[in-house]
Amino acid sequence: MEHSPAILHAKELLFLLGVILGVGTLTGFFARLLKIPDVVMFLVAGMVLGTAGLGVIDIKVDSTLNQLLLIFGSCYILFDGGASVRLNVLKNVWPTLLTISTVGVVISAVITALAAHYLLNLPTVFALLLGAVIASTDPATLVPVFRQVKVRAKVAQTVMSESAFNDAMGAILTFAVLGVAVSGADFSINQNLLSLLQQSILGIIGGAILGYLAALLIAHDKYSFLAEYAPIVTIMSVAAAYLSIDNLHASGFMAVFVFGMVLGNKDLLGFKMEATEEAKLEDFILTTSLIMRIFIFVLLGSQVNFALLQQYFWGALGVVLVFMLLGRPAVVFLCALPNRRAKWTFKELLFMCWTRETGVIPGALAGMLVGMKVPYSDVIASVTFMAILLTILVQATTTKWLAQKLHLLEHS
């Protein structure tokens, strides 16, 4: 019996999704045995099964399926991270959070650009473009890591919140520099600061409104007629928050994070769910976040371009080491030390210097530049891949060890 091409394609996709989930489940089990973050094992599994390895997983970067999984997966993980943030913890660190998510991105981009200019011989504007692409941290990695490694709340929630808020800044800076690089236009600081402010405010307002409405429908004394459908409400609201704010040319990622923050702190708004419904919702969020994590990092690993890495290996390695060992510490100390109210200790700052994984958003930006055939985009993609591999394989795996050495683990 012959099948239509659509049915055959559907079966092929179903097989790939089953393989990814099966491999993710198995590697997640081994990650728990080895006591390392599961995203590390997912990434390695993707590299083994991808086109450069066994060739089992071959989902193109620009395919609809890949983009759907990356966008929604990142959104849901961001929502999960926002829901775990406690506003009373952040009240003393918000100046640090604001500075490190904005000025910190620029500092990181400039230091990385200097390294790329001298180590890879990139023209200044394209070196800055590279720095902008990898300047933002990765919530899809950091949120799961801090779910598994119980670090002091003030530190963990500052770093998780930074990873959500600096995505907007990283994207704005990337496209601002790209405009200068391809057209030779002047870089307007005022115009780009205004754009950042607009995107941030719209993202925060949109996320807060949707978070309040969701809390109203699932946890209000009188109007919580959707309480038993709370898991569906979260999926619907996450998609709505991202799409509505993104269509307004603002930060959809910031919107879903703020949505999660409002829903996670609904008790401060006077809303309260029944214990059984609350437990059911938490279990659903944890399970869905795990599934999204598997898809994102297995796919990310499967798409690592080893030919590009080999071509620019030593230069890319040098740039990433400067980025990790000089750029990040400069960002942390310059942005956090002035905030006396937060009372940061040296050990907390040292830990934050080491915790800045690169992942989905920089990978997507680099992929877009390659697709647009921007000059030197192959070099930018190579350094981005190197940053993703080093920060996830090295930094994520040593997070718990460093937290123990610095006495920053919370005892349950």
Pick the CATH number of 10-405 from 1.20.1530.20, 3.90.1640.10, 3.20.20.70, 3.30.565.10: 1.20.1530.20
> Tens of pLDDT along 240-255?
888 988 888 777 877 8
* Predicted local distance difference test score (pLDDT) of residue 338: 86
Q: Say whether pLDDT at 320 is over 90.
A: yes
* Predicted local distance difference test score (pLDDT) of residue 190: 62
Q: What are 3's two structure tokens?
A: 């099948």
* Predicted local distance difference test score (pLDDT) of residue 189: 58
Closest CA to 108 of 372, 366, 360, 320: 320
Q: Say whether pLDDT at 2 is over 60.
A: no
Q: Say whether pLDDT at 118 is over 80.
A: yes
Q: List Cα–Cα distances, 203 to 209, 277, 390, in angstroms.
A: 10, 28, 31
Q: Quote the CA–CA distance of 183 and 330 in Å, as a whole number.
A: 31
Output helix, strand, coil percentages for the chain, rounded to the nearest 5. 80, 0, 20
Which amino acid, 299?
L
> Tens of pLDDT along 89-114?
777 788 888 899 888 999 999 999 99
Residue with tokens 């849901």: 76
> Tens of pLDDT along 34-54?
777 788 888 889 888 888 778
> Tens of pLDDT along 263-294?
888 888 788 878 788 888 888 888 888 888 88
Q: Say whether pLDDT at 187 is over 60.
A: no
> Tens of pLDDT along 57-92?
888 776 778 778 878 887 887 788 778 777 777 777
Q: Quote the CA–CA distance of 352 and 342 in Å, as a whole number.
A: 14
Q: Say whether pLDDT at 236 is over 60.
A: yes
* Predicted local distance difference test score (pLDDT) of residue 188: 59
Determine the 3-state secondary structure of 298 from DSSP.
helix
